[in-house]
Amino acid sequence: MTPEELRQSAEAERQKSHACKHILGVCCAAGCQSMGSDKIKDALDKQVKLKGLESEVNVKSVGCLGLCAAGPLVSLESDGKKAMYQAVKEADVAEVVEKLGKAPVKRLELSLDIPFFARQQKIILENSGVIDPERIEEYFAAGGYEALIKALTDLEPAEVIDAVSRSGLRGRGGAGFPTGLKWATVAKAAGSRKYVVCNADEGDPGAFMNRSVLESDPHRVIEGMIIAGYAVGASQGYVYVRAEYPLAIKRLKTAIKQAEGKGLLGDKILGTTFSFRLEIRLGAGAFVCGEETALLVSIEGSRGMPRPRPPFPAEAGLWGMPTLINNVETFSTVPPILRNGWEWYSAIGTEKSKGTKVFALAGQIKNTGLIEVPMGTKLRDIIFDIGGGVPDGKKFKAVQTGGPSGGCIPESKLDMSVDYESLREAGSIMGSGGMIVMNEDSSMVDVAKFFTEFCMSESCGKCVPCRTGTAQMYGLLEKIHAGEAVKADLELLKELCDLVRTTSLCGLGQTAPNPVMSTLHYFEKEYTSLLKDGPGKPAAAR
Amino acid sequence: MTQSKTAVKPPTEDKRWRIVEATIRRNGAQGQALIEVLHSVQEVFGYLDDPSLVYVAKALRLPLSKVYGVATFYHFFTLKPQGKHTCVVCMGTACYIKGAPELLKDAEKTYGVKPGQTTPDGELSVIQARCIGSCSMAPAVVFDGQVAGNLSVADFGKKVESMLKTPTAAVPA
Ligand SMILES: Cc1cc2nc3c(=O)[nH]c(=O)nc-3n(C[C@H](O)[C@H](O)[C@H](O)COP(=O)(O)O)c2cc1C
Ligand code: SF4
Ligand code: FES
């Protein structure tokens, strides 16, 4: 396909969609699907046929609409007016179709003015819930692959890297490394072959941003990766996806086939001299494989054990060759940066954290689901405004960010801005974007124990501080939790945290103490009140 | 390298081995395809038994120790046969704080199985997962490949019961 043909296809698709007076978008991402959205789509299709409205009404599958808590969701666009229906049942279908073009069904309507929708700014999720993820034409119509055309026909690889650098984009996989700098390093590195790898392992439990992007808008990831390949001089890419995401894998496979069919992957892309191939590699349920060096050896078919860095993958990665590894969200941000210009992107967010970030809201929070907000948004706004606060009249206690590598942030810190630096200062990390809200009933010692158990069983066992240290930490936490520990145990726990943090080989071990240290920092009383010789205990017990 | 030796034969006559053979062939019988091939075996047969591991080692020309090492390193692979029905309870953070431990306790109380175990009659396996990405519907459980969310202990009990009554063979999780 030439750029011209791609644009024609996009235009044809736009025409087609304008021809329909009403568009009903049924969410077909994993959340709504598990609540039966497939059946609702079928029922809508049937009803439209029954009423002979096929030419006026377009019923389509769309990706995640965000507010999973209110699913199954159906979006509605009638004569340019938008509305959303929540908790739709098969029994509602006849009425939904009947009311098309009239006032929407009040009983089902979910206002689009609520802060959950109104306060978001969507860049990565711009197509989620809008296009059918299984149709490349809809991605074209939404401006998809325009950035690739621009990169391949207008820009030198160095210019692409320059745009990414100037945009201020930082890695969304957790550490926030400047993306442009990483690309430049790979581009400069010497090697007979180079690789581009997408980290879609998303091992942080409680996080599902990457899953949703892959299920709702897979072409965006592919486009970002092809551009990256062009920029750094690689002709082969791999997407490392966790096997626990069957729907995401299926959609990605479909998307890769479509892109190959259109000549957007393979030899001589868009009629240029650039070639790029993409393959999927499945993870197999090891958290440590999210760590980049472990991920690379896992692609090579071995046990996912990290190795010391340097050399960084940018210099010696897959099969010893220079390898660019970025997160799903990082790649997904590249096409809009090229399409709209780095100036546009760098104007969003804070001074050091540019752009938007997708967060997964889960736990004791009313509006569970996916959101995208500019960096620098206040944590309180995310949880209470957008998230709707804590349900059942309970009090907020803490929000956990960054998963097993992160920490718990208490009420007193909620007014801080969400960006890489502030979160780190507060003793947590941005991580991949999971936010788990806990109410007053959650025990922070229990949460610390939970994450320590996680790190203990996910430790790859290569180095002693992490392998043995996390097990010892877990033992102490169990003892404290059971009310059998004394002050000296708590001191030992603190010492161990320090040791594991400073002497472990990879990020897993280095950050494993974070959940313990942050809960100890903000909620030390919960620990001391469990000690046999803690404050308030009779002297006789000491 | 050309494969001059006669091709390695699968451990049984089972026709489903062809799917695995296709995976091996597609990857040029290279050692780096080990994880892909193990996925393929598990997808087809539900678990990895010793003869399968021996076969994979030969077919990819890898030491058996490497194959065994990889198969046991990754949680997704299982060396034991699964029950006819499987119930994967997510114990990720979101599900944990929303009551997943209660679901596991219920399974243990009712069926006498802990996570990772199968009932003696081979009907039900209970598996614990690390997060299946359905955190917005915590606690989430996969019943024979179907995700269900926002489960109370009572919902869970009913779901397991109705799953056990469904005659179809389990879809490997
Ligand atoms: C234990 C551990 C787990 C990780 N898991 C992930 C993950 O699931 N997804 C991810 O993108 N990065 C993960 N990372 C970070 C990666 O090592 C790497 O920094 C990242 O993929 C780089 O991409 P980025 O620059 O786009 O952020 C993990 C790191 C560690 C130490
Ligand atoms: S820190 Fe832990 S996970 Fe990382 S290499 Fe050492 S033992 Fe393995
Ligand atoms: S924590 Fe259970 S699905 Fe994510």
The tens digit of pLDDT for each residue in B64-92 reads 999 999 999 999 999 999 999 999 999 99
pTM above 0.90, yes or no: yes
Cα separation, A358 vs A220, whole angstroms: 15
pLDDT at A31: 86
What would the mean pLDDT of A20-32 be, rounded to a whole number?
91
Q: CB neighbours (10 Å) of residue B155?
A: 15
Answer whether A489 contacts ligand 1 (Cβ < 6 A).
no
The alpha carbon of residue B8 is apart from the nearest alpha carbon of chain A, in Å, by: 20
Q: CB neighbours (10 Å) of residue B63?
A: 10
* CB within 8 Å: A304 and B73: yes
Least confident of B5-9, B146-150, B161-165: B5-9
Residue A308 alpha carbon to ligand 3 centre in Å? 31
CA angle (B18 as vertex; B16, B20 as ends), nearest 5: 90
Q: Does pLDDT of B3 surpass 80?
A: no
Please, what are the domains in chain A? 17-114 (3.40.30.10), 143-346 (3.40.50.11540), 356-439 (3.10.20.600), 444-528 (1.20.1440.230)
Q: What are the pLDDT digits (tens) for A281-301?
A: 999 999 999 999 999 999 999
The alpha carbon of residue B70 is apart from the nearest alpha carbon of chain A, in Å, by: 5
Cα separation, B135 vs A362, whole angstroms: 6
What is the residue-averaged pLDDT of chain A?
95
- Spatial strand order in the sheet of A369-374: A369-374, A356-363, A434-439, A396-401, A407-410
How many angstroms separate the first and last alpha carbons of chain A? Answer: 79
* Phi-psi group of A57: left, alpha or beta (phi > 0 → left; psi -120 to 50 → alpha; rest → beta): beta
What would the mean pLDDT of A219-229 be, rounded to a whole number?
98
Reduced to 3 states (helix: H, G, I; strand: E, B; else coil), residue A260 is helix
Cα separation, A292 vs A379, whole angstroms: 29
Reduced to 3 states (helix: H, G, I; strand: E, B; else coil), residue B125 is strand
With beta carbons under 8 A apart, name residues in chain B contacting A455. Answer: none
DSSP code per residue over A370-399: EEEEETT-BHHIIIIIIS---STTPPEEEE
Can you list the positions of beta strands (E) in A104-189? none
Q: What are the pLDDT digits (tens) for A169-189?
A: 999 998 899 999 999 999 999
pLDDT at B169: 53
Least distant ligand from the CA of A463: 2
Q: Give this complex's ipTM.
A: 0.90
Which two structure tokens, joined as six digits, stand for A150?
A: 């621009």
- % of chain A at pLDDT higher than 90: 91
Give the distance, in angstroms, between the CA of residue A28 and the centroid of all CA atoms in the same chain: 18
Cα Rg of chain A (Å, integer)? 25
Size of interface A-B (CB pairs under 8 A): 138
Query: Which of B103, B130, B134 best tests ligand 3's pocket when mutated (most atoms within 8 Å of CB)?
Result: B134
Of all atoms in ligand 3, which is nearest to the CA of residue B132?
Answer: 3
Distances (CA, A) of A42 to A60, A89, A303: 10, 12, 44
pLDDT at B6: 56
